[in-house]
Structure 1
Amino acid sequence: MKHIHTSLWVLLLCVLITTVISEDNKDEGSKKVPLTPRVYVKLLQTRRKDHTTLIQRMLQNDYSKNYKMMSLALDKIFQIIKQSNQTLTDEKYSPITDGFPVEQRVQEAVTLLIEDTCLASDIILHFPEISQKVLKKIPQWKETINWCLDFVMHYPHIIDEVIVQLIDLARQEINEDARSPDFINPYYKKVEVESVPTKKPNRRVKKIKKGPQLSSRSEL
């Protein structure tokens, strides 16, 4: 069995960190401090720092390595999204009418959706070409992500302006028909191709003979 590169395990741990750490914090929170919106805002900030560290690591990898890593990461993210969505459906939860949830099972589903949507948006924006290729293998990926982006925007008291901008850019990145005329993905860096100086074609310069020349027309 082939050994997986160390950075791949770092990625998988970062992707799963929203599940493991959130569960640990919520278990402790149920005994000591309840996970109120104010408490979760601070936890989300910590999670976003983890996401930033992950992206910075990925930016140091080559195309092939990132493709494999993103295939695993996005697949795991979509599994979490699907499970969380099912929980909210079973509980008949609505962010508009219910607000930030109190029940632990629903609370976990909501927070995981927020965190994984932010992480997926980061990956899509920083690596648009690879992400598009990976996501095309996932059925109804665009519909799912659009739903998640809308879902996160229902928590203005939880997300900050940076996340709002992230959501807006991610929405425009995956929906070309929704892009504003001045849309620019600030994280996308085109591969600069070194310009090879082109040789100018050798043009033979006709030497003009000195002295009288024959006229092209016969003089009468």
Structure 2
Amino acid sequence: MAIKKIFHFLYATRVVVFVYTLITLFQIGCSNEDKAKDELISGEIKGINTWEAYKSLLETQRKAHKEAVKQLLSFTNTQKQYEMLNLVTKRLVEILAESKSELLAAGFSPTGDFPEDEQLRDSLSQVIQNSLLYADLALRFPSFMHRVFDRQKVSKSVVKWCFEFTRETRVTEGTPSAQAIYLASQELNYIEREDNYTNPFVDEQEIKLSKLVEEEMKKKKTKKERGPRLSSRRTEL
């Protein structure tokens, strides 16, 4: 995919563009994360001033989310897919944490009127859109999300807060996005699972990734248990 195609998604969030840029860099044999970050852009939220208008915009942006996830699923090299997910999810959590802090500092309520302040609108949009993208990833790559984030209390707390915030805005009410948040909340154990809960997106590719994730976690555990090695060189006096 040529890099110019990334910008065809004018309504994409910062993370969606980040995903596309990283995918392109991987495909051309480059993993320069800083270059990817330079391509980040904000969502087209400037002209939106009501919840109803934002809901319409969100439907358009969700199409970009689906394309981003589709590209992540298209990787046939499981190792590269793992590396890509690692980069994307870390950046995603960073943006959610930043946006959460901005909303809390402003005292914004998810049940209040749509914000007039442009910066606050952007923070609001980042929480909602990236919560939905995180939910998509949690459902399609559950083994990765569990093994990488289950023990990261701060990250879990941020994402759980953002999920609940998104639900309380009711902007996804009556849409497939509401179901995505609900299923992902169960998958990630943010809420109690229903007795008949099943993840409808687990497939053979996810099973392969699950094995790789397990291997990577074992390597990290072994490295941690061994600790740093002492240099065999002798210091000359």
Same fold (TM over 0.5): yes
In the TM superposition, residue 159 of structure 1 has moved relative to its aligned partner by 4.5
Instruction: Indicate which of 41, 45, 50 corresponds to 1:20.
Output: 41
Name the SS of the counterpart of 1:140 in structure 2.
helix
Matched to 2:162, the amino acid is C
Root-mean-square deviation (CA), in Å? 3.0
Matched to 1:173, the amino acid is E
Residues 125 and 72 from structure 1, CA distance in 2 versus in 1: closer, same or farther, beyond 3 angstroms? Answer: same
Residues 158 and 172 from structure 1, CA distance in 2 versus in 1: closer, same or farther, beyond 3 angstroms? Answer: closer
Give the Cα separation in 1 of the matches to 2:51 and 2:187: 29
* Equivalent residue number for residue 218 of structure 2: none
Preserved CA contact (<8 Å) 1:70 1:134: no
Do structure 1's residue 36 and structure 2's residue 43 form an aligned pair? Answer: no
In the TM superposition, residue 60 of structure 1 has moved relative to its aligned partner by 1.8
Do structure 1's residue 45 and structure 2's residue 66 form an aligned pair? Answer: no
Residues 35 and 5 from structure 1, CA distance in 2 versus in 1: closer, same or farther, beyond 3 angstroms? Answer: same
Name the SS of the counterpart of 2:168 in structure 1.
coil
Unaligned runs of 5+ in 2: 1-23, 209-237
Give the Cα separation in 1 of the matches to 2:190 and 2:117: 38
In the TM superposition, residue 56 of structure 1 has moved relative to its aligned partner by 1.3
Matched to 1:6, the amino acid is Q
Unaligned runs of 5+ in 1: 194-220
Name the SS of the counterpart of 2:45 in structure 1.
helix
TM-score using structure 2 length: 0.66
* Equivalent residue number for residue 106 of structure 1: 120
Instruction: Give per-residue Cα distances to partners, 1:32-68, cap 9 Å, x unaligned.
Output: xx43222212221121111111111222213211211
User: Mean Cα displacement is larger for which, 170-179 or 129-138?
Assistant: 129-138
In the TM superposition, residue 127 of structure 1 has moved relative to its aligned partner by 0.6
In the TM superposition, residue 114 of structure 1 has moved relative to its aligned partner by 0.3
* Equivalent residue number for residue 135 of structure 1: 149
The number of residues matched between the two structures is 178
Please give the residue correspondences for 1:85-100 in structure 2 after superposition, counting only pairs within 5 Å: 85-96=100-111, 98-100=112-114
Give the Cα separation in 2 of the matches to 1:137 and 1:63: 23
Name the SS of the counterpart of 1:81 in structure 2.
helix
Give the Cα separation in 1 of the matches to 2:138 and 2:84: 13
Give the Cα separation in 2 of the matches to 1:133 and 1:87: 29
* Equivalent residue number for residue 227 of structure 2: none
* Equivalent residue number for residue 81 of structure 1: 96
Do structure 1's residue 126 and structure 2's residue 151 form an aligned pair? Answer: no
Residues 177 and 89 from structure 1, CA distance in 2 versus in 1: closer, same or farther, beyond 3 angstroms? Answer: closer
Preserved CA contact (<8 Å) 1:121 1:170: yes
Preserved CA contact (<8 Å) 1:125 1:188: yes
Preserved CA contact (<8 Å) 1:169 1:185: yes
Matched to 1:141, the amino acid is S
Residues 89 and 134 from structure 1, CA distance in 2 versus in 1: closer, same or farther, beyond 3 angstroms? Answer: same
Residues 47 and 177 from structure 1, CA distance in 2 versus in 1: closer, same or farther, beyond 3 angstroms? Answer: closer
Please give the residue correspondences for 1:63-82 in structure 2 after superposition, counting only pairs within 5 Å: 63-82=78-97
Give the Cα separation in 2 of the matches to 1:105 and 1:43: 17
Higher helix share: 2
Give the Cα separation in 1 of the matches to 2:138 and 2:49: 29
Identity of aligned residues (%): 24
In the TM superposition, residue 26 of structure 1 has moved relative to its aligned partner by 3.4
Structure number with greater Rg is 1
Give the Cα separation in 1 of the matches to 2:55 and 2:177: 12
